[in-house]
């Protein structure tokens, strides 16, 4: 019996060495130490031993059971350690690898212009108003005193949705919306996209940006208009920039004017940027026509006002010396990356 026990121990340790997984280890345990395992089988023969030999065999069997159990427990520990090591190895982060490069966008030059303009006018006490890009014919034309047969109303100039709705052709309808919403004193600006049925070329885009301004109060005069716009020109283009008011005609203002400023490039000398004139046109303006005030429910006997509107693409192009409006809409990163300021 002793031989059998020792043989079993030998076989067990050999098998233990070959065990590769915890599941196999379990099988091994059942095979040797289980209820009807190898050890139990051998012990069944205990009855055939001499009485005095039995305790010795019993002790040997116990010893064997304990040492085999311990050997399996340490094997299990080894498995657990290996598993942990494998996990750590797999989850290791190589902190020496270079990080992923995040490329930062830049503020679009037109947006820079818009932000600066808003700053200038908000500092002068103007509020910022908003209006929709899809506008009524009434707000875009009628309420602005535009004659029914004005060429700008034609299909070749304006995008129509139907007989009563257009893509706004200027930001001036926001004047109407503001005057219908509030009574004087009014000091507002509005910035946004406008649309005209123009062919695309270096100076035209069917979609472009405008800024509108409107002041209505008691005693507002042409002097206020000039003072305000001259101050704006100085703040945006520099102290030495001079402005020139030329008479013009708009349906919604009377009198009306266009404002030119000294060329940013030649400062009035005359160059190819200003076609040799020394001046560049930047906006339209005038005293709000009394019929426009009345249409919006404002007493034109008591109140007067001035208004102005300017093309922001144009102003952006001047400030950054961009010679083709298309660059502003092509989203070419090589172009946009140049504007770091
Ligand atoms: N709405 C005009 C345009 O798009 C610009 C303009 C001129 C706006 C005179 C005004 C103004 O407010 O008073 O050409």
Query: What's the rounded mean pLDDT across residues 249-274?
Result: 90
Which residue's alpha carbon is nearest to atom 9 within ligand 1? Answer: 285
Ligand 1 binding pocket includes 172 (Cβ within 6 Å): yes
CB 294 within 8 A of CB 274: no
Structure tokens at 198: 């123009």
Domain ranges of the chain: 2-91, 109-336
Secondary structure (DSSP) of 283-326: EEEEEEPHHHHHHTT--TTT-EEEEEEEEHHHHHHHHHT---GG
CATH code of the domain occupying 109-336: 3.30.930.10
| 341 — pLDDT class (breaks 50, 70, 90) | low
Query: What's the rounded mean pLDDT across residues 63-82?
Result: 87
292: which residues sit within 8 A by CB, 6+ positions away?
Answer: 143, 144, 145, 175, 176, 179, 252
Ligand 1 binding pocket includes 196 (Cβ within 6 Å): no
Ligand 1 binding pocket includes 174 (Cβ within 6 Å): no
The alpha-helical segments, DSSP class H, found in 165-248 are 173-181, 222-237
The alpha-helical segments, DSSP class H, found in 19-53 are 22-33, 38-43
Which residue's alpha carbon is nearest to atom 5 within ligand 1? Answer: 309
Choice between 95 and 183, residue whose per-residue pLDDT is larger: 183
Residue 187's beta-bridge partner residues? 215
The one-character DSSP state at 49 is: S
Distance 182 CA to ligand 1 centre (A): 21
The alpha-helical segments, DSSP class H, found in the chain are 2-18, 22-33, 38-43, 54-90, 109-123, 137-140, 173-181, 222-237, 290-295, 312-320, 333-336
The one-character DSSP state at 218 is: T
75: which residues sit within 8 A by CB, 6+ positions away?
Answer: 16, 19, 25
Cα angle 252, 253, 254 (rounded to 5 degrees) comes to 135
CB 311 within 8 A of CB 210: yes
Q: What is the pLDDT of residues 196-225, one digit of tens each?
A: 999 999 889 999 999 999 999 999 999 999
Residue 248's beta-bridge partner residues? 256
Return d(Cα 52, Cα 56) in angstroms, integer: 8
Atom of ligand 1 nearest to the CA of 212: 12
Distance 147 CA to ligand 1 centre (A): 15
| 96 — pLDDT class (breaks 50, 70, 90) | confident
Q: Around 317, how many Cα atoms within 13 Å sit in the side-chain half-sphere?
A: 23
Residue 212's beta-bridge partner residues? 190, 309
Residue 340 has pLDDT above 80, yes or no: no
Q: What local confidence, expressed as pLDDT, does residue 44 receive?
A: 84
Q: What local confidence, expressed as pLDDT, does residue 100 receive?
A: 87
């Amino acid at each position: 019996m002793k031989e059998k026990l020792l043989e079993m121990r030998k076989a067990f340790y050999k098998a233990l060495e070959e065990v590769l997984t915890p599941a196999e280890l379990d099988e091994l345990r059942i095979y040797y130490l289980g209820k009807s395992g190898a050890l139990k089988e051998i012990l069944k023969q205990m009855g055939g031993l001499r009485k005095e030999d039995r305790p010795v065999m019993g002790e040997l069997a116990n010893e064997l059971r304990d040492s085999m159990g311990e050997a399996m427990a340490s094997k299990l520990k080894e498995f657990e350690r290996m598993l942990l090591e494998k996990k750590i190895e797999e989850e290791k982060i190589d902190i020496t690898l270079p990080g992923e490069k995040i490329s930062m966008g830049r503020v679009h030059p037109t947006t820079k212009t818009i932000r600066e303009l808003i700053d200038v006018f908000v500092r002068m006490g103007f509020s910022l108003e908003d209006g929709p890009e899809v506008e009524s014919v009434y707000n875009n034309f009628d309420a602005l005193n535009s004659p029914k047969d004005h060429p700008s109303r034609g299909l070749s100039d304006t995008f129509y949705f139907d007989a009563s709705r257009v893509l706004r052709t200027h930001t001036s309808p926001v004047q109407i919306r503001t005057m219908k919403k509030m009574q004087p004193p009014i000091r507002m600006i509005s910035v946004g996209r406008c649309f005209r049925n123009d062919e695309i070329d270096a100076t035209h885009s069917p979609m472009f940006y405008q800024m509108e301004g409107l002041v209505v109060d008691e005693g507002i005069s042409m002097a206020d208009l000039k003072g305000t716009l001259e101050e704006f020109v100085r703040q945006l283009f520099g102290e030495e920039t001079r402005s020139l008011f030329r008479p013009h005609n708009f349906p919604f203002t009377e009198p009306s004017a266009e404002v030119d400023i000294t060329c940013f490039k030649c400062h009035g000398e005359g160059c190819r940027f200003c076609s040799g004139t020394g001046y560049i046109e930047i906006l339209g303006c005038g005293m709000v026509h009394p019929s426009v005030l009345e249409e919006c429910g404002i007493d034109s006997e008591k109140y007067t006002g001035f208004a102005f509107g300017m093309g922001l693409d144009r102003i952006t192009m001047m400030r950054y010396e961009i010679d083709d409006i298309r660059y502003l809409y092509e989203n070419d990163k090589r172009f946009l990356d140049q504007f770091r300021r």
